[in-house]
Amino acid sequence: MTHATLTNNYRTLSCDDDIISGTLRRVFGFGGFRRDQERIVRAILEHRDVFAVMPTGGGKSLCYQLPAVLMPGTCLVISPLIALMKDQVDGARSNGIRAAFLNSSISPAEQDDVLGQLHSNALDLLYIAPERFALERFRNIAARSRIALAVVDEAHCISEWGHDFRPDYLSLSRLVEMFPDVPVAAFTATATHRVQDDIQMRLGLRDPLVVRASFDRPNLFYDIRFKENAAEQLVSILKANRDKAGIIYRTSRKSVSDTAAMLRSKGFRALPYHAGLGDEERIRNQEAFIRDEVDVIVATIAFGMGIDKSNIRFVVHADLPKSMENYYQETGRAGRDGEPARCILLFSHGDIPKVRFFIDSVADEAEHARALAAFSKVVSFASSSVCRRRSLLDYFGETYPEENCGNCDVCTGLHKTINCTREAQMLLSAIVRTDQQFGASHIIDIVTGSTNRKVLDFGHDRLKTYGAGKGKSKTFWKRLVDELIARKIVSRAEGLYPALYLLPEASRVLKNETEIEMAEVVETKRKKSALAAAAPQENEELFELLRSLRKQIADEQGVPPYVVFSDRSLRDMASLLPKDEESMLAVTGVGEVKLRRYGRQFISCIIRWCDAGHNGKTP
């Protein structure tokens, strides 16, 4: 029988509905596909190229792992996420998939062993970095092996228009030439239409199935708060999310270290992560977070690309991200298991100059212009009072169909719009009467009637506007200054003395020709998102017992807890109370291999809990 005949026979067999759905249930423990997954799986099984934009947590790994189980040969996965490869392989192996990775973290002898497995067709999945593919020795071995599918993960890295271009990715243009009869599938979580076209051209994809999955992550609550005292706000957020996994992003290494130390002094299990730490400490801190030994990682954006932790319940940006792509990708690390999670951005216009400083250090004019344009989109997003989900999806060219998403700070009524034209006139008047020579803090001191020495020394306590706004808090006045800057009514001088000065639009405000409205927080205690409130209430005590059992097993096997079972699987168990193997297979994420390896221990835990007098209702 010829190879073509084998391929054709296999193609007909592998696209059978029963085989596909049976493999999905038996290996991965899922009763059905998520949106777009089945189309991608079928296209790959039909030996068709694929280009897919899928959000973080959208289930892209299943799109190539399921075909890898069914197709004869090895699925070659090229990814820049070296730190993530071991966890991906552990996760695949926990489902009974023959998987390995090949990178510099393993010894030469181990590398030779993996190459031997590849050559002898003993692997379903092999993860490698693009630098490895660029080596002629590896390409020669791969060319003599049976490659069933080539996958390019984080495919935006091949495009110079992408937000994370990597020159090593350019060698991947050889994939189609090396494997002319093998489907090539490219995946990314973020790509504008321009980047999408560039990726397809550079990889030479042949009439690919193109899937732009919805960028909407309905389980994520987007919450933008005025940044007043970041340290106090972070402590408050962590108290509200005690014992839950979260990431706090900061711009600088110093702020990362200081924030982590501050949180530890308040009793929180938090560690820093940034490029300035030694390799050992950085890896140790990341491992502690992945293995649920600490709850919070405080990090620069260097952290996250190598994280596959599914149970992150919150992501906080304590400083402004540099682009909407960065913001989307970083918030996307929350709630990968589909459970509710919160994405909080602390925003103040006072942080803009800090990011501008880094952007202005970019020497290349074209790159500087791109970075500045990208950052301005972030500022507009954070400044607006439009539904966050609608604004975010609009950036990626997707229209949100609903008027109210019910899962962001704007749509859940955490803000109300107030008219503050009169207060804006007070500020503008104070700026004019002080000859536009003073910064925001001094102007606010004047309108609130402060008696500090600087105000008295300059005689500004004798101005007509002195104390005119003492009925409002300083936080209100800081926000109003930010609003006036955002609306280009006033601006800050650059340099050591950022004095406020009026722009032409200010005269219209002073003449009552235009009104100033501003969003104000309705309550300091944040409401639960509609999605979280509607989430099923499982037996929380049992859930915690199952979490403890999962941690024990994970530690014994040297794998992250989510490799054993996801939070979603544990919540299913706590709700369904499976007491035998058949009912355990009905739990999301429990396939036949995981049932054999772990099922009996979890069933026994559930039975003991029920026998202790619990009736299956939330205590």
pLDDT at 486: 76
DSSP string, 519-556: EEES-SSPPPPHHHHHS----HHHHHHHHHHHHHHHHH
> Which pLDDT score, from 0 to 100, does residue 530 have?
43
- Res 466: pLDDT: 95
Q: Which positions of the chain have pLDDT values less than 70?
A: 1-15, 161-164, 302-307, 495, 521-538, 614-619
Please tell me the CATH code under which domain 417-521 is placed: 1.10.10.10
What was the pLDDT predicted at 162? 59
Residue extents of the structural domains in the chain: 3-212, 220-409, 417-521, 536-611
Q: What is the CATH number of domain 220-409?
A: 3.40.50.300
Instruction: Specify the 3-state DSSP secondary structure of 283.
Output: helix
DSSP state of 361: T
**pLDDT for 249:** 95
Q: According to DSSP H, which parts of 230-364 are helical?
A: 230-240, 253-265, 279-290, 324-331, 352-360
Q: Do domains 3-212 and 220-409 have the same CATH topology?
A: yes
- pLDDT tens across 87-104, in order? 889 999 999 999 999 988
Query: How far, in whole angstroms, is CA 233 from its chain's centroid?
Result: 21
Q: What whole-number distance in Å separates Cα of residue 56 and Cα of residue 28? A: 19
| Gap between the Cα atoms of 617 and 569, Å rounded | 18
Q: Which residues are registered as beta bridge partners of 224?
A: 345
User: What's the whole-model pTM score?
Assistant: 0.76
In the numeric block, which tokens belong to residue 469? 């706004």
Q: Please say whether the structural domain 3-212 has been given the CATH code 3.40.50.300.
A: yes
Distance CA 412, CA 533 (A): 12
pLDDT of residue 363: 84
User: Which of these, 86, 66, 37, lies nearest to 149 by C-alpha position?
Assistant: 66
3-class DSSP assignment, residue 475: helix
Q: Which among 317, 324, 313, 293 has a CA at the least distance from the CA of 303?
A: 317
Per the rule left: phi > 0, alpha: psi between -120 and 50, beta: everything else, 191 is: beta
DSSP 408: B
Superfamily of domain 536-611: HRDC domain (1.10.150.80)
Closest by Cα among 138, 137, 136 to 127: 138
